[in-house]
């Protein structure tokens, strides 16, 4: 195959995208794709003028990815709502482009329903399964910002009432203060000298807890999360349970694993 270029979709690419749909074998059962299907996702809520990408060679369009960016009062989510390619390597390249795009857009997390032709173990290394059958996978792009958004919630304030919490993720410190969250760099002059409850975990563990792939109790027993002092376990675990977010978008595509 000739040199591959990934760029933004242009209206003149439309016919080549349809040819790609017609010519590509998904490697298993799949939903038939046509112009109506493609136009539906181009107009999907959150799809921007610059959030559709095509992989192009001298032979034409070899792959397409459509990304939606949606924001609510808590966090910003990127979603790869359409991903199609003539071969797995091109699909991998489009996924990496989606990660870069969502990172540039300051998205907190990225979600995708992996197509059957992709090797999830290779393409999605470092991602988190959010369902047992790999229907949906997610990548945490900004652990600090996502945790800040989650903790900036009245429910969190009620749970943490009367206690000072400090949450540590890598070198970042997140301090819920009533309805205001303050993030500071660990080791800086403003690092807190004392706190009532300190909870520390890696970004991967935070991701598993947030997406309900593991329970805070399991993470504690396997020493992937640390809570100090131990007498505050119940309050801290209750706070952690409240960090879980729902998978609030329905799957319009049914040809996934």
Q: What is the CATH number of the domain that holds 174?
A: 3.30.1050.10
The pLDDT value recorded for residue 27 is 54
- 10 and 113 share a domain? yes
Rounded distance between C-alpha atoms, residue 70 and residue 245, angstroms: 15
**84-98, 175-189, 212-226: range with lowest mean pLDDT:** 175-189
Whether residue 250 lies inside any domain: the answer is no
Question: What is the CATH number for 97?
Answer: 3.40.630.30
- Supply angle C-alpha 25, 31, 33, rounded to 5: 75
pLDDT: is 71 or 190 the higher one? 71
Dig out the tokens for 83 from the structure: 């991903």
CB 143 within 8 A of CB 172: yes
CA–CA separation, 141 and 107 (whole Å): 7
Does residue 149 share a domain with residue 130?
Answer: no
Name the range with the highest mean pLDDT among 35-39, 63-67, 122-126: 63-67
Asked if residues 198 and 235 have their Cβ atoms less than 8 Å apart, the reply is: no
**Is the domain of 191 the same as that of 228?**
yes
Q: Which two tokens stand for residue 218?
A: 């399991």
Positive or negative, the CA dihedral 175, 181, 187, 188 is negative
CA distances (Å), origin 168, targets 49, 156, 211, 242 = 37, 16, 18, 17
Most confident of 65-74, 130-139, 209-218: 65-74
Reading the block at residue 112, the tokens are 């995708």
Per-residue pLDDT averaged across 47-61, rounded? 94
* Residue 68 dihedral angles phi and psi, to the nearest 5°: -110, 140
pLDDT digits (tens, 9 = 90+) for 1-21: 578 999 999 999 999 999 998
How large is the average pLDDT for residues 192-212? 73
Q: What percent of the chain has pLDDT over 90?
A: 28
Residue 205: inside a domain: yes
Query: Does residue 253 fall inside a structural domain?
Result: no
- 26 shares its domain with 111: yes
pLDDT band (50, 70, 90) for residue 33: confident
Q: Please determine, for residue 232, whether its predicted confidence score (pLDDT) is greater than 60.
A: yes
Structure tokens at 248: 């609030």
What is the per-residue pLDDT for 158? 58
254 or 50, which is more confident = 50
pLDDT higher than 60, residue 28: no
Summarize pLDDT for 92-109 with one digit per residue, the tens: 999 999 999 999 998 888
* Number of domains observed in the structure of the chain: 2
Among residues 110, 141, 172, the one where a domain terminates is 141
Q: Is the pLDDT of residue 56 over 90?
A: yes
What separation, in Å, do the N-terminal and C-terminal C-alpha atoms of the chain show?
28
Contact present, 184 and 190 (Cβ < 8 Å): yes
Looking at the predicted structure, is the pLDDT value of residue 248 above 90?
A: no
pLDDT value at position 257?
39
249 occurs within a structural domain = no
For the chain, what is the mean pLDDT?
A: 76
CB count in 10 Å sphere of residue 73: 7
Asked if omega into 5 is within 30° of 0 (cis), the reply is no
User: Residue 102's pLDDT is what?
Assistant: 92
Specify the pLDDT at position 172.
76
Which residue segment(s) compose the domain that 226 sits in? 144-241
pLDDT tens digits along 136-182: 677 767 666 667 666 665 555 555 555 677 778 777 777 765 434 44
In this structure, the answer to whether residues 110 and 154 fall within a common structural domain is: no
């Amino acid at each position: 195959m000739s040199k591959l270029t990934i760029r933004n979709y242009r209206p003149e690419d439309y016919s080549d995208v349809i040819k790609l749909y017609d010519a590509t074998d998904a490697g298993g059962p799949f939903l038939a794709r046509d112009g109506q299907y493609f136009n539906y996702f181009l107009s999907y809520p959150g799809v921007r003028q610059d959030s559709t990408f095509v992989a192009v060679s001298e032979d034409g369009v070899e792959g397409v990815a459509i990304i939606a960016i949606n924001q609510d009062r808590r966090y910003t989510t990127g979603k790869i709502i359409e991903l199609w390619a003539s071969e797995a390597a091109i699909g991998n390249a489009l996924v990496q482009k989606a990660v870069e795009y969502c990172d540039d857009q300051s998205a907190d997390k990225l979600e995708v329903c992996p197509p059957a032709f992709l090797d999830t173990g290779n393409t999605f290394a470092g991602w988190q399964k959010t369902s047992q059958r790999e229907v949906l996978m997610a990548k945490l792009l900004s652990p600090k910002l996502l945790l800040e958004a989650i903790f900036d919630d009245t429910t969190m304030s009620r749970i943490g009432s009367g206690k000072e919490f400090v949450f540590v993720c890598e070198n970042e410190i997140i301090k819920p203060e009533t309805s205001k969250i303050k993030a500071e760099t660990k080791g800086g002059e403003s690092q807190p000298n004392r706190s009532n409850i300190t909870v520390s975990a890696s970004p991967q563990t935070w991701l598993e807890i947030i997406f309900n792939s593991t329970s805070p109790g399991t993470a504690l027993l396997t020493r992937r999360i640390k809570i100090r002092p131990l007498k505050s376990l119940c309050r801290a675990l209750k706070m952690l349970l409240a960090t879980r977010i729902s998978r609030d978008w329905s799957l319009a595509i049914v040809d996934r694993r």
